[in-house]
Structure 1
Amino acid sequence: MQGKSSVAHSDKDPLIVVDRRQSDAAAALQRGVCRTLRAYGHSVITELPLANGRRADVVGLSGSGDIMIVEIKSCLADYRTDGKWHEYLDFCDRLYFAVSADFPNEVIPEHAGLILADRYGAELVREPTEDRLNATRRKAMMLCFARTAALRLQHHLDPGCRLRS
């Protein structure tokens, strides 16, 4: 399914709630990942704009402040043609790839975490190498996460309100 985001004022607008550029398969994986991260007690936000201009598929924030990014890969072609995942490493403590059960897992780098997912849930198969954020970057990410979540909630509660990010 191709199209535009349901709420898109600009590429840097944090109000993007649903990214309809993704395939149905990617959306299903994202849903399962988010459900499972929530079940583990993480706060979750999707399509979070990062300071480097990229947008993380899923960002999880633990109760202790750990930040994880989950990169959704709907198929092998998606993985092979999208090399931007390296650019997420500076914005999280741990990076995971979420793929379907029939994805060839051996292509996922050993230092990255691996999550098998479907539309109903996900299973953590491999933990990634942890690379802790420095305090300045952690604060910036937590502020970005919090502000984006608050703006999205406000937009949901009052869609006619013109919010500034």
Structure 2
Amino acid sequence: MPLSTTVKPEPADPVARQVARGVCRLLDRLGHVGLTEFVLRSGRRADVIALGPGGELTIVEIKSSLADFRADGKWPEYLAFCERYYFAVPRGFPLEVLPEDQGLILADGYDAAILREAEHRPLAAARRKAVTLRFGQVAARRLQLLLDPQGADPGRPA
């Protein structure tokens, strides 16, 4: 599967873009580094994936509206690729519709707060290694494209 060809991938929805920004700021304060619009080997796209200081992997699924949440039933598939899973929503989102057994983040374009911690679910060592390696490759490719947009081959597979 090819790596992302966009240097600064971001959600198309303006509300989701603001939530992603706040989430990434929160993750940074917690010592995690995040990537947005990260394509997993399954072909699914995680809104935000973060690598923590101890190598732990967190996925954050952004829901910009109730309609967005109701239209998306694929989120359980992400659980196999992370140790912690959160939903991130903007102010005014009806929190009661979100699964209570998943983490919850409230975010805007400037900041975010964890309202409910995500349960830690250990990943198999091989899966953790594969996702971490892909994380590094995607991050390096995005940096390479930023530094040399004409010299990098954005279509080269990982």
TM-score, normalised via structure 2 length: 0.92
Q: Where does residue 136 of structure 1 map in the other structure?
A: 126
Q: What is the CA distance between 1:116 and its match in structure 2?
A: 0.2
- Contact kept, 8 Å, 1:98 with 1:116, in 2: the verdict is yes
Q: What is the CA distance between 1:14 and its match in structure 2?
A: 2.0
SS in 1 for 2:70: helix
- Contact kept, 8 Å, 1:15 with 1:148, in 2: the verdict is no
Greater shift, 20-29 or 140-149, is seen at 20-29
- Which one-letter code corresponds to 1:82 in the other structure? D
Aligned residues: 155
Deviation readout 1:115-158 (Å, 9 max, x if unpaired): 00000010000012221111000000100000000010000000
- What is the distance in 1 between the residues matched to 2:47 and 2:125? 23
SS in 1 for 2:99: coil
| Unaligned 5+ runs, structure 2 | none
Q: What is the CA distance between 1:12 and its match in structure 2?
A: 4.1
- Contact kept, 8 Å, 1:16 with 1:47, in 2: the verdict is no
Find the partner of 2:117 among 124, 127, 134.
127
Query: Would the alpha carbon gap of residues 20 and 70 (structure 1) be closer, same or farther in structure 2, given more than 3 Å must change?
Result: closer
- Which one-letter code corresponds to 1:125 in the other structure? L
- Contact kept, 8 Å, 1:110 with 1:128, in 2: the verdict is no
| Mapping of residues 55-70 of structure 1, within 5 Å | 55-70=45-60
- Contact kept, 8 Å, 1:46 with 1:57, in 2: the verdict is yes
TM-score, normalised via structure 1 length: 0.89
| Unaligned 5+ runs, structure 1 | 1-10
Deviation readout 1:25-57 (Å, 9 max, x if unpaired): 110000110111111111111111101100100
Question: Displaced runs of 4+ in structure 1, greater than 6 A?
Answer: none
| Mapping of residues 13-162 of structure 1, within 5 Å | 13-19=3-9, 22-162=12-152
